[in-house]
Amino acid sequence: MARRTIPASSCPPPLMPGSIRTTDSETCPRPLEAGGLLAVISTHHVAGGTEQFFVDVQEIYERWDPATPPNLRLSRADGIPREFDDSELFGEPEFHRYEWEQAYDTEAYADLLLTYSNHIALPHRDELIADVRQLVDTRYDGRVVKRYLAQLAVARVRAAWPAAP
């Protein structure tokens, strides 16, 4: 199959880890030829790593972020659904999963949180981050481990997409 360049405007912009969006099956297949592949990568924070920290930090989120559901707990990786838009444009997707852990010291973890748009927009962001830093430093010796699930979904385009009007 010949390679071709796909214009950046053909699909939505890339996501940051932790972002949530479904695949736009009305837009993404347009530049793909029949038999081409669409790959969708998602990253999920899952149970594991320093598990008690993520239980303890819940109280801080409930205090400073009014959108936080009470007693929120992380799902195990096997509880994360294998999702792909149900569309006649694509064949059955294949899923590939990889679990991994990343250690963070206090400052690296605070810096990570400040990359998440929901944290950036919080009215009490500084208070939340200060309390998280204190928790990591005082109860977790300045280090926490976060477990991730990276999922790759690959589906073949069944037929060429009609040209855009």
Question: DSSP assignment, residue 153?
Answer: E
* Across 44-73, average pLDDT: 95
Give Cα separations from 96 to 70, 73, 139, 149 (angstroms).
32, 24, 36, 10
Q: Per residue in 19-51, pLDDT tens?
A: 444 455 555 556 677 888 889 999 999 999 999
Global confidence as pTM:
0.74
Cβ(151)–Cβ(20) under 8 Å?
no
| Neighbour count for residue 52 (Cβ, 10 Å) | 11
